[in-house]
Amino acid sequence: MDFLIQGFLKAIELLFAGDAETFSAVSATLVVSAYSLLATLAIGLPLGFCLGYFDFRFKKQVRVVVDTLLSLPTVFIGLVVYAFFTNRGPLGEWGLLFTLPGIAVGLTILALPIVIALSATAVESMDRQLRVMLISLGANRRQLFLSTLWEARLPILAAALTAFGRVMTEVGIAMMVGGNIKWQTRTITTAIALETNKGEFAMGIALGLVLLLIAFGVNVSVSSLRKRY
C-alpha cells in the first residue's frame, strides 16, 4: 500500500513543483482532448440531431451501426489511423503520424459514435411539440436546429462529458498514433503506461491522480454551468 500513499504525495509534488515533464504530458492530453472534442461536437451534433430528429429509410439500421461503433476497440482505431497516416498510407503525405493532431483524429473517431448516439437519443426524447412551437414562432431551419439543441442541452452536455472522459483517458490510440514521444506526443495515459512498465508505480499513480484532478475540475465547471443555465 505504500506506493499508493507515495503516489498521492508525488502527485501533489509534481503539480505544485511545476514538473516540466508532467506539465508537458498534461498539456498534450488537454490539447488532443480539446481538438478531438471540438471536432467530435462539430461533426457529431448535426449527425446526432439528424438521426434523432428525422424519420428516414434505414434509420433503425443506421442506429444499430452507430450503437455498434460505441464498442469499437481503441487499438483497432489506432491501427487503422496508423495505416492511413504512415508514409505508405493514403494520407501519409499529411505528416500526421506521431503528432498531436494525428492522435486527435484517432480520438475523434473514437468519440464520434458516443456523441452521435447520445445526442440522437437526447433529441429523440424531446417533446415533438417543440418543433411545432418553434416553427409557429417563426424559426427557420438553422434556428430550429440550434433551439432544439439548446433545449436538449443537459443530455447533450452529458454526451460531451462522456466523450471527453473517453478521449482523455484513452491510451491505445495515443500510444500507436502518437508514439509516446517525450515532450511532444506523450500524454498522461501513455506516460502512466510507460512508468508502470518501468516499475515506477508511484509515478504512474501520481500521473493517474493528475488525470483524475483534471476530470474533476472539468466536471465541477460543467456542473456550475448546468446550474446557471
Partner 1 sequence: MGSALYTIRGLEHVYRDKPILRIDRLEIPSGSIVGVIGPNGSGKSTFLKLAGFVEKPTAGEIIYGGKPAVPFASEVRHKVSLMPQEPFLMKRTVLNNVAYGLKIRRDLSRLEQRVHIALDWVGLDAGEFSKRPSYALSGGEAQRVALAARLILKPEVLLLDEPTASIDALSAQLIKDAALKARSEWGTTLIIASHDWQWLYGVCDRVVHLVRGRLMGSGRENIIFGPWQPGENGLWEKVLSDGQRVVVQKPPEAISAAVIDHAAIVPADRLLPSGENQVRLSGLITRLALEKASGDIVGSVLVANIPFTTTLTEKEVVESGLYPGRRVHLLYDVRNVRWF
Contact set with partner 1 (CB under 8 A):
127, 129-133, 135-141, 143, 147, 151
- Least Cβ distance, residue 132 to partner 1 (angstroms): 5
* For partner 1, the closer CB: 30 or 144: 144
Q: Which cell numbers in the block locate residue 90? A: 493514403
* For partner 1, the closer CB: 152 or 167: 152
- Least Cβ distance, residue 2 to partner 1 (angstroms): 51
List, as own/partner pairs, every contact residues 145-148 make where C-beta atoms lie below 8 angstroms and the sequence separation is at least 24, other chains included: 145/46, 145/49, 148/49, 148/53, 148/123
CB-based contacts of 92: which residues, under 8 Å, 6+ apart? 84, 85, 86
* For partner 1, the closer CB: 143 or 221: 143
Tell me the three state secondary structure of residue 7: helix
Q: Which cell numbers in the block locate residue 133? A: 412551437
* For partner 1, the closer CB: 57 or 88: 57
Q: Computed from CA positions of residues 4, 1, 189, 24, in that sequence, does the dihedral angle turn out positive or negative?
A: positive
- Least Cβ distance, residue 151 to partner 1 (angstroms): 6
Whole-number Å distance between alpha carbons of 120 and 52: 4
- Least Cβ distance, residue 142 to partner 1 (angstroms): 10
